[in-house]
Structure 1
Amino acid sequence: MAGKGTPATALLTKRKIAHTLRTYEHDPRHTSYGLEAAEVLDVAPERVFKTLVAAVDGNLTVGVVPVTGQLDLKALAAAAGGKKARLADTADAQRATGYVVGGISPLGHRSRLPLVVDVSAQDFDTVLVSGGRRGLEIELAPADLIAVTSAVVAPIAAHA
């Protein structure tokens, strides 16, 4: 599987969007995929974003937040124009995106899902998001991530 592209990398290549692939050997004992990526790739964890799938008023919606925080479900619902949100079931998230948990990318989903990116992504020249499998991160400009996914930008991260 190591040199194969993913729907996420194929989308960026097709759209000619500048990006860098960052790979590492995923340790199955690690409890946080995003924090593991930040450590192994020696990147500030605030620049590494995780992709979470939630159901907003019953419709699957994707939230992209820094690995240092949590997804604020109320804020996600508001940003998506809904009233109530809950994290989606793993099977639903995997079926809709075409990716496995721990490797869900905000790019190249099987079904087109609304996407909300936390406003903090705009604080950086580049951010890292999952490339579509565990151990593969994509580094790209937040503006490119937002443009290619037609994302809404909103404060959806809650910090402990």
Structure 2
Amino acid sequence: MTTADAAHPLFAAALAELGLSVPVRRFPAATRTAAQAAEAIGCELSQIVKSLVFAADGVPVLVLMDGGSRVDTERVRAELGAGAVRRADAAAVREASGYAIGGVPPFGHVTRMTVLADRGLLDHGEVWAAAGDPHTVFPMAPKDLVAHAGGRVVDVRAVEVAEGREPGA
């Protein structure tokens, strides 16, 4: 399926502006969660890119994290030199990005945000990210994805300390 046919119109416009043509895959069932996306695509959970919006001292910040890991907000706070960092609510995510939770792509937002990309994304040759809605995804080399997002590579993954604890979203 072509980008114009499958991607959210805002994201398709961003791809065109960047001169990118990527294969966008649409699924009948939602790929809103990283686990749903990995199952639908047939890839490892860690190859899914979660595009998560946080508020750092009230300013939206995008964090790109692999699908099997959680973001450590204290590490994000320290990286940004912010006083406080919290997960943005659904309304703030839509306002900052132009997309609903579950479909936020790594770039092509209505607001220019600081983008932090966790270093773990670079462990793969190819990763998959949302293409603007919960039913669409696209593949890209992680270094290219981070570059197009205008992100900087950082270490903001939460370290799971409890034995047997599953990493969350």
- TM-score norm. by structure 1 comes to 0.88
Q: Which runs of 5+ in 2 are unaligned?
A: 161-166
Give the structure with higher Rg (CA).
Answer: 2
CA distance in 1 between partners of 2:6 and 2:47 (Å): 25
CA distance in 1 between partners of 2:134 and 2:77 (Å): 27
Name the stretch that deviates more: 81-90 or 97-106. Answer: 81-90
CA distance in 2 between partners of 1:45 and 1:74 (Å): 24
CA distance in 2 between partners of 1:52 and 1:8 (Å): 16
Paired residues of 2:6 and 2:26 also in contact (CA < 8 A) = no
CA RMSD of aligned residues (A): 1.9
Partner of 1:130: 130
Deviation at 1:14, TM superposition (A): 2.9
CA distance in 2 between partners of 1:152 and 1:83 (Å): 20
Equivalent residue letter for 1:23: R
* Structure 2 residue matching 1:69: 3-state secondary structure: coil
Deviation by residue 1:69-94 (Cα, 9 ceiling, x = unmatched): 11111111222332321001210111
* Structure 1 residue matching 2:14: 3-state secondary structure: helix
Paired residues of 2:54 and 2:88 also in contact (CA < 8 A) = yes
Equivalent residue letter for 2:125: D
Paired residues of 2:106 and 2:130 also in contact (CA < 8 A) = yes
Partner of 2:29: 26
Partner of 1:105: 105
Partner of 2:7: 5
Paired residues of 1:18 and 1:140 also in contact (CA < 8 A) = no
Deviation at 1:103, TM superposition (A): 0.8
Q: Which runs of 5+ in 1 are unaligned?
A: none
Equivalent residue letter for 1:145: L
Paired residues of 1:61 and 1:115 also in contact (CA < 8 A) = yes
Aligned pairs, how many?
A: 156
Question: Cα 1:4–1:44, aligned 2, differ >3 Å: closer, same or farther?
Answer: closer
Paired residues of 1:131 and 1:138 also in contact (CA < 8 A) = yes
Question: Cα 1:74–1:144, aligned 2, differ >3 Å: closer, same or farther?
Answer: same
- TM-score norm. by structure 2 comes to 0.83
Equivalent residue letter for 1:36: Q
Paired residues of 1:96 and 1:111 also in contact (CA < 8 A) = yes
Name the stretch that deviates more: 141-150 or 92-101. Answer: 141-150
Paired residues of 1:20 and 1:140 also in contact (CA < 8 A) = no
Paired residues of 2:73 and 2:156 also in contact (CA < 8 A) = yes
